[in-house]
Amino acid sequence: MDEMEEELKCPVCGSFYREPIILPCSHNICLACARNILVQTPDAESPQSSRASGSGVSDYDYLDLDKMSLYSEADSGYGSYGGFISAPTTPCQKSPNGVRVFPPSVPQPPPQQHLLPQPGSLPPIPRNSCITCPQCHRSLILDDRGLRGFPKNRVLEGVVDRYQQSKAAALKCQLCEKSPKEATVMCEQCDVFYCDPCRLRCHPPRGPLAKHRLVPPAQGRISRRASPRKISTCTEHELENLSMYCVQCKMPVCYQCLEEGKHGTHEVKALGAMWKLHKGQLSQALNGLSDRATEAKEFLVQLRNMVQHIQENGVEFEACLVAQCDALIDALNRRKAQLLSRVNKEHEHKLKVVRDQISHCTVKLRQTTGLMEYCLEVIKENDPSGFLQISDALIRRVHMTEGQWGKGTLTPRMTSDFDLTLDSGPLLQTIHQLDFVQMKVPAAPMLQLEECCTQNNSATLSWKQPPLSTIAVDGYILELDDGNGGPFREVYVGTETICTVDGLHFNSTYKSRVKAFNASGVGQYSKTLIMQTSEIAWFTFDPASAHPDIILSNDNLTVTCNSYDDRVVMGNSAFSRGVHYWEMTIDRYDNHPDPAFGIARGDVLKDVMLGKDDKAWAMYVDNNRSWFMHNNSHTNRTDGGISKGSTIGVLLDFTRRILIFLINDEQQGPVAFEGLEGVYYPAISINRNVQVTLHTGLPIPDFYTPGEADPNGSVC
């Protein structure tokens, strides 16, 4: 619990909190210290325009106005809700914790007013007094209630009391006549601490005493110290108990506050329910912070081991360097001293970086552990209102502290390796140019499995260099096999660390690997990743590429339009190999429109009927007949139309490079288009008189027998 001690000390006096109060910024301060740092504002300042109550403004209201009260050590004034207040000319002092403490403004009060007030009473506060938080330097003008307007932090006071008692000396037996021995048990019924001899003599385990419960001294001290929960009273109505909690104001309120209408339009909940809710939220936040603290401890062990490795590697590197330099005899001696100096600097730099990181992480871990222990003690409190007064601030602090342990925080800033190689091959006349060669071939990349995936006939791979590698990388080479156990081939060369390969075979297993290269050569391959493409093509309509007039629903499977003109929408998957079949059902068909169904390139026109340009191959159909259309050429008029409930099928066969259409499971006309190759997207064009639902992942119709695959097909 030593780490928690910082949480229990006042930022002004540096001692444990005495009668702490909660400022609107959620920070705490001793009541006596708050009295000492009060500053009286000039009389010209209007108290009605700038006065604010310590409990009448919520935390969020206070923070919204903080733009007027943010100050540094060089500030010359105090901010307030109403405006800017000039600071008194009296010099500031430093508290034991290094926090600025401004003495009371001139004129100074009589000496007897400097005495600490007795608990429960406060000396009168001068009008227009201002208090500045010693931690965040936000200022607030007090109202007529003065410091009584700030709520007392009873939870913090109880934690401080328990902490101080836990540090006290060992408990002594209460029945020893001379030189009391250390107590070994405590009787809860007798409320007496006993050593072993006194227990056997005065508290034998028989008769009525046999039913008494004996507990360890530490547990007995806690139970003795525990007291019934105090009934909290309202700061506005001292005779009323706090029974409700205002969600908007984030403060406990009494029945009379509600009767007066101060929170009439606010959401109000039971105090006990909110107490349990906020305790649960704080406990949940602590779980995440606890995991971060555990990682930080492991990380510190890793850093300390790195110090040893750096020292060992540094010594080894120096020995190698000395041996090489001595071999060059006299000509190398002058250069040897310079190279040793460089290695020593690198050595010291690495040690300094790691030691600085150890120091920084140790301080942060100590603060985190202290906050955790403090929060755990707060959770033990049985005062709902007192807990709710500080729970929001603690939850924010816990989340903020957890966020500070981000990915970069627990990553070493320096490696323990010395990536330097001495080249001893140059001739003697080039000794004056002797230097370290820092370039090595890159290490094998690491595949990021959580980001690698397949979708239909596409595969996405992601990789990165090892975290501790400092060797320069000029680019990467990604290789895939043919999906049938064949040789690897390059599919990407470049500097990116993520690549998507389209046009793979469906229902195929691909092997992939990646390697890095630089000016020194090509590094080792990564581990081989095996990926399985989809057995059947599943896709939906693509809202990103659709015309703005298109309306999608049913998880992008149902489409209609809000325009009388034809508008195009495509599927979100492209095809370049294999045999694929999908269907569309007509959900609504009014006024005999001409919807078109087919395939298209990615850059097809979206504001005309499908097939009007050279980027689409389609069949458009009405209630009586159909036509095939490509590049605005209409062919193969065929009788047979559609109506509500009709089904249109599209069969795309890349083995034969043909496109066939079906209506109600019957082939419509001859083969529509031949000689197809490349990448195509499923597509349709409709207007507002039609609504269509897409069905994918369907087997090939029974009447159709796919042909042999084209051996000259290419992967896109």
What distances in angstroms separate CA 54 from CA 79, 147, 311, one per listed residue? 15, 8, 56
Instruction: Write out the two tokens for 436.
Output: 């370290």
How many residues in total does the chain contain? Answer: 716
At 600, the pLDDT band (50, 70, 90 cuts) reads very high
Residue 123: per-residue pLDDT:
55
pTM of the model: 0.39
CA distance 130 to 140: 6
Helix orientation angle between 154-166 and 329-379, rounded to the nearest 10 degrees: 110
How far is Cα 25 from Cα 556, in angstroms, rounded to an integer?
48
Per-residue burial over 437-470, b = 16 or more CB atoms within 10 Å of its CB, e = otherwise: eeebbbbbbbbeeeebebebbbbebbbebeeebe
3-state class of 299 per DSSP? helix
Amino acid 596 reads A
Q: pLDDT tens for residues 252-285?
A: 888 888 888 778 788 888 888 888 888 888 888 8
- DSSP state string for 306-329: HHHHHHHHHHHHHHHHHHHHHHTH
pLDDT at 127: 61
Contacts by 255-264, CB closer than 8 A, 24 or more apart: none
590: phi then psi, degrees, rounded to nearest 5:
-120, 140
Specify the amino acid at residue 40: Q
In this predicted structure, what is the pLDDT of residue 686?
95
Q: Residue 409, exposed/middle/buried by CB under 10 A (0-12, 13-18, 19+)? A: middle
- Burial class of residue 563, CB neighbours in 10 A (0-12, 13-18, 19+): middle
What does residue 156 show for φ and ψ, rounded to 5 degrees?
-65, -40
Locate tokens 């998507």: which residue? 500
Task: Dump pLDDT digits (tens) for 516-547.
Answer: 999 888 999 999 999 998 878 889 999 998 99
Of the pLDDT bands very low, low, confident and very high (cuts 50, 70, 90), residue 84 is very low
Question: Where residue 227 falls among pLDDT bands split at 50, 70, 90?
Answer: very low
Cα angle vertex 632, ends 627, 634, to 5°?
A: 25
Identify the pLDDT of residue 79: 34
User: For residue 629, is pLDDT > 50?
Assistant: yes
| CA distances to 152, 311, 515 from 523, in Å | 65, 28, 6
pLDDT(286) > 90: no
In this prediction, residue 404 carries a pLDDT of 83
Q: Is the pLDDT of residue 332 over 90?
A: no
User: Is pLDDT above 80 for 42?
Assistant: no
Closest CA to 375 of 278, 307, 456: 278
Side chain identity, residue 261: G
Q: What is the mean pLDDT of residues 190-209?
A: 88
Alpha helices, H only, 41-123? 47-50, 59-64
Q: What is the pLDDT of residues 429-448, one digit of tens each?
A: 666 676 766 567 888 999 99
Q: Residue 320: what are its φ and ψ, rounded to 5°?
A: -65, -40
Tell me the per-residue pLDDT of 548-582, one tens digit each, with 9 for 90 and over: 999 999 999 999 999 999 999 999 888 887 889 99
For position 51, what pLDDT does the model report?
38
Contact between residue 335 and residue 434 where contact means Cβ atoms under 8 Å apart: yes
- Average pLDDT score over residue span 329-333: 66
**Residue 170: pLDDT band with limits 50, 70, 90:** low
Amino acid at 167: K
| Percent of the chain topping pLDDT 70 | 80
Identify which has the larger pLDDT, 120 or 158: 158
The pLDDT value recorded for residue 115 is 40
Tell me which DSSP letter residue 695 carries.
E
Is residue 511 within 8 Å of 486, Cβ to Cβ?
Answer: no
Classified as helix, coil or strand, 655 is coil
pLDDT (0 to 100) of residue 670 = 94
Whether residue 180 is predicted with pLDDT greater than 80 in this model: the reply is yes
Place of tokens 């999908």: 582
pLDDT in tens, 674-686: 999 988 999 999 9
Q: Half-sphere exposure of residue 639, counting CA atoms within 13 Å on the CB side?
A: 0
Beta bridge partners of 633: 630
CA 165 to chain centroid, in Å, comes to 39
For the chain, how big is the Rg over CA atoms in Å? 39
Is pLDDT above 50 for 710?
no
Q: What are phi and psi of 54, to 5 degrees?
A: -65, -25
Residue 644 above 70 pLDDT?
yes
Checking 105-108 for CB contacts under 8 A at 24+ apart, the result is 105/39, 105/40
Mean pLDDT of 698-711: 72
Give the pLDDT score at 621: 95
608-613 mean pLDDT: 94
Q: pLDDT digit string (tens) for 106-119?
A: 344 444 443 444 44
Which comes out higher in pLDDT, residue 633 or 256? 633
pLDDT at position 41 = 61
pLDDT digits (tens, 9 = 90+) for 345-388: 888 888 998 998 899 899 989 999 999 999 998 888 888 888 88
Average pLDDT, the chain: 80
Mean pLDDT of the 320-334 span = 74
CA angle 686, 687, 692 (to 5 degrees): 50
Could you give the C-alpha distances from 71 to 33, 100, 667, in angstroms and in order? 20, 12, 80
For residues 636-655, average pLDDT: 93
Tell whether the model's pLDDT for residue 397 goes beyond 70. yes
Asked if the bond preceding 107 is cis, omega within 30° of 0, the reply is yes
- The whole-number average pLDDT for the span 286-307 is 88
Cα distances from 406 to residues 18, 403, 410, 591, in angstroms, run 36, 6, 7, 61
In order of 108, 321, 503, 506, the CA distances from 675 in angstroms are 99, 68, 18, 21
SS3 289: helix
Give percent above pLDDT 90 in the chain: 30
pLDDT at 222: 55
pLDDT (average), residues 451-466: 90
What is the SS3 assignment for 504?
coil
Closest CA to 214 of 184, 182, 188: 188
- CB neighbours (10 Å) of residue 73? 7
